[in-house]
């Protein structure tokens, strides 16, 4: 089995991808090890829950195994992978909402301050991001961190472009307020 530690120079990513496409599980493991931390970080920022982020990150790599043939190499693999990750995390979030939230439309807040401070794998700004209300957090992460345009975010989250911009502004205000009070 091929084992690549992140601090080692990995095989050419394009070679790994071709090997994964041909069913090479060792190459898949190497690709997983190269990207799991960032995928988990993205899922954690979007979901604001460690257990859900772990589940979603694992689902991302299940999807990668199933859909790797769809990756055509016209963009960087990481761009495709993080797009899969954001889609999986958003889908996961929608599935996890309880019936009351669906009926009454209660806005789910992120982690409380103590949970964010205790969370392994979070530091600095990430500890503030996971405390944001759900929609504001998702828009902030997709726009400010992942580089999506408001039009793309609006389509992905099923909201108006103006709502995406408003949620981003709200997130920035809350983050600034919390940062100044720390």
| DSSP per-residue codes, 127-152 | HHHTTS-HHHHHHHIIIIIT---HHH
* Contact (CB, 8 A) for 156 and 82: no
* Contact (CB, 8 A) for 168 and 139: yes
For 14-40, write each residue's pLDDT tens digit. 899 999 999 999 999 999 999 999 999
Between 68 and 116, the higher pLDDT residue: 68
Q: What is the pTM of this model?
A: 0.77
For 48-102, write each residue's pLDDT tens digit. 888 889 999 999 999 999 999 999 888 899 999 999 999 999 988 877 765 445 4
Q: How many CA atoms lie within 13 A of 20 on its CB side?
A: 25
pLDDT at 13: 87
* Contact (CB, 8 A) for 53 and 122: no
């Amino acid at each position: 089995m091929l084992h690549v530690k992140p601090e080692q120079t990995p095989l050419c990513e394009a070679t790994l991808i071709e090997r994964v496409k041909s069913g090479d599980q060792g190459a898949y493991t190497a690709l997983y090890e190269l990207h799991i931390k960032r995928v988990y970080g993205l899922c954690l920022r979007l979901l604001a829950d460690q257990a859900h982020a772990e589940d979603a990150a694992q689902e991302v790599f299940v999807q990668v195994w199933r859909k790797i043939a769809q990756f055509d190499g016209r963009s960087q693999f990481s761009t495709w992978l993080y797009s899969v990750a954001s889609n999986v995390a958003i889908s996961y979030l929608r599935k996890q909402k309880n019936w009351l939230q669906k009926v009454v439309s209660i806005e789910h807040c992120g982690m409380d301050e103590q949970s964010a401070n205790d969370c392994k794998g979070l530091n600095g700004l990430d500890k503030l991001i996971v405390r944001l209300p759900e929609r504001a957090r998702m828009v902030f992460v997709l726009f400010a961190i992942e580089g999506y345009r408001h039009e793309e975010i609006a389509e992905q989250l099923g909201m108006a472009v103006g709502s995406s911009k408003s949620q981003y502004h709200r997130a920035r205000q809350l983050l600034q307020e919390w940062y100044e009070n720390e």
